[in-house]
Amino acid sequence: MESESTVTTCYRHPRVECHVRCTRCDRYICPDCMREAAVGHQCPECVREGARSVRQARTAFGGRVASAPTVTYVLIALNVLAYLGETVRPSIVDRFDMLGTVPAGYLPEGVAHGEWYRLLTGAFLHLPPTDGTFGILHIVMNMVSLWNIGRVVEMQLGRVRYLALYLLSALGGSVLVLLIAPTTPTLGASGAIFGLGAAYYVMARRLGADMDAVNRFMAGLLLWLVISAWITSWQGHLGGLLAGGVVTLAYAYAPRDSRRTLVQVGACLALLALLVILAMAKVAELTI
């Protein structure tokens, strides 16, 4: 007959006597292994297993809910750092701005001559401070716009979807510049920001927001698109607007089931493929 005074010990610390069991797996646990639970205590393994099984909250568009718009902060920091860099070394602008090609008679440079990185690096540069008053205003206006719009869009989409939207919008703006004005050097985050503006509009319609305020916002955005035809690159703005709209339509109207992520990723990859094909076709035309 087994003695009633049998000593019970912790399953993780066999030398420690204990009398409390994990409410989930029923193993004995010592005070060092006890984790507070809704009822009683649990062991560390059961706590970790329970945390893995908890379903993470998602936004209306399938992204993970974030506590802060971290990607927007990082993008602003990258733009500011690039601006400080070009202030110290102005040659950075000519080396990394968006340029398709140069007229005949000049040294070959630009996307058509293998500098494909310009399709994205130009979106992180701005007019240098030596370029009159608008040089400073260029980055200030873009970063204020990114701060105001980017935070809202990121919190609705989640970090991964938001970053994909931003980069595809920037790429869309650069590709339209390449197609229409390949010999015009352009730079600035405006194309990507126009893409965020399109996303803001599409999301507001999908969520049933007050469209009066949203329509006023879009009217201002389109007015700036028209004005930019005389001031800066309207091609980059329009390309970013179209790319951002396409991506967000896929985000907003993908089926809300297990296929949603697949449809959203597929739409982004399809747009990326289209932009690459258009860019390659134009480069082939420029290098004939």
Rounded distance between C-alpha atoms, residue 247 and residue 63, angstroms: 14
Helix (H/G/I), strand (E/B), else coil: 8: coil
pLDDT of res. 1: 42
Q: Exposure of 218 by Cβ count < 10 A (0-12 exposed, 13-18 middle, 19+ buried)?
A: middle
| Model pTM above 0.85 | no
Do the beta carbons of residue 245 and residue 202 sit within 8 Å? yes
**Beta-strand relationship, 41-42 and 20-21:** unpaired
Question: Is 1.20.1540.10 the CATH classification of the domain at 70-286?
Answer: yes
Q: Where are the alpha helices (DSSP H) in 5-90?
A: 44-53, 70-88
As annotated, the residues of the chain forming the CATH 1.20.1540.10 domain(s) are 70-286
Rounded distance between C-alpha atoms, residue 166 and residue 116, angstroms: 18
Residue 211 half-sphere exposure toward CB, CA atoms < 13 A = 6
Q: Going residue by residue through the chain, which has 288 residues, state the pLDDT in tens, using 9 for 90 and above.
A: 444 457 888 888 888 888 888 888 888 889 888 888 777 888 888 888 876 655 567 788 888 887 889 999 999 999 999 999 999 998 999 999 999 998 877 788 999 999 999 999 999 999 888 776 577 888 888 999 899 899 999 999 999 999 999 999 999 999 999 999 999 999 999 999 999 999 999 998 888 777 777 788 788 777 877 776 666 778 999 999 999 999 999 999 998 888 999 999 999 999 999 999 999 999 999 987
pLDDT of res. 132: 63
Rounded distance between C-alpha atoms, residue 229 and residue 236, angstroms: 10
